[in-house]
Structure 1
Amino acid sequence: MCLAVPARVVAIHDDDRATVNLGGVTSSCSLALVEGVEVGDYVIVHVGYALSRLDTDEAERTLALLAEAGQVAGAAA
């Protein structure tokens, strides 16, 4: 089973990539599929690609549910 998760964008790089944070873990993802992403936005990330931007409230609710289920350490700060 695959899971796409919300992650907060902490940096945007010139090569159409971003650094994202999920529960204190940072990783790189491609922004090639999503336009208009800014630092602080939440994106849905799956296999290294941001698939869409996500409303902050919805992202935080989703992260809280994942944390409750034991799947994520907590919401990204």
Structure 2
Amino acid sequence: MKLWTYVGETVRLVLKNGRIIQGKAWDWNDPEDVGEQEILIGDQSYGESQIKTIEVLKLHSDEVERSKSQLNNSTPF
């Protein structure tokens, strides 16, 4: 996966464990730094080996605000 191409986009990840993550991709970590590509959403990073699918979401401005609010109020598992 070319995870660096998603930086700055609002994305939806479906992880291999079935969990769905949605939010803005803030950064990308190179495999030379951490062993595999990772994408950073909120304060969590997700490795390429965890990701089943990734898609760019085209949201209306009110949906973006709602996603930001949910991300700020979410509790990591």
- Normalising by structure 1, we get a TM-score of 0.40
- Asked which structure has the greater CA Rg, the reply is 2
- Normalising by structure 2, we get a TM-score of 0.40
Higher relative helix content: 2
